[in-house]
Amino acid sequence: MARNVIAPVAGRVIQCLVQSGEMVAPDTEVAIVEAMKMHIPVVAEQTGRVALWLVSEDSQVAEGQALLTLQD
């Protein structure tokens, strides 16, 4: 089943920290989003393999927007 990792805050994706195919677990930092001049880590909430990035570095994201898709 596919699940998404979502942006906890609106801002600019300044770094993608995991690549397609990589495994992540709860608390793995998958990206850094810049908001209010702070670098805010986005952490995975579940275990899974990164299937697809839905955004790229430097893109603006909305709060709650899906950043990447995880597969079992």
Partner 1 sequence: MTWKPELDELERRRQLALELGGPDKTARHKGQGKLTVRERVAGLVDAGSFEEVGSIAGFPEYDAKGNLMGLTPANIVCGRARVDGRTVFVTGDDFTVRGGANDGGLRDKFAYAETWARRWRVPLVRLVDGTGGGGSVKHLETLGRTYLPDVPVFTEVLDALSEVPIVALGLGSVAGMGAARVCASHYSVMVRGTSQLFAAGPPVVARAGQNVTKEELGSSSIHAKNGTIDDDVDREAEAFARARRFLSYLPASVHELAGRQPSNDRPDRTAEELLSAVPRDARKVYRMRPIVEVVVDAGSWFEIGRAWGKSVITGLARLDGWPVAVLASDPYHYGGAWTADASRKAIRMVDLAQTFQLPVVHFVDIPGFLIGKEAEASGVMRFGTQALAAVRNSTVPWCAIMVRKAFGMAGLTQRNGSLAFLRYAWPSAQWGSLPIAGGVEAAYRAQIEAAPDPAAKRAEIEAKLEALQSPLRTAEAFGVEEIIDPRRTRSYLCRFAEFAAPLRQPGRPHFGYRP
In the complex, the residues that contact partner 1 under the rule CB under 8 A are 8-10, 34-41, 62-63
If DSSP states are collapsed to H, E and C, what string results for the chain? CCEEEECCCCEEEEEECCCCCCEECCCCEEEEEEECCEEEEEECCCCEEEEEECCCCCCEECCCCEEEEEEC
Q: How far is the CB of 58 from partner 1 (least distance, A)?
A: 17
Q: How far is the CB of 8 from partner 1 (least distance, A)?
A: 7
Whichever of 40 and 54 has its CB closer to partner 1, that residue is 40
Whichever of 22 and 39 has its CB closer to partner 1, that residue is 39
Q: How far is the CB of 20 from partner 1 (least distance, A)?
A: 26
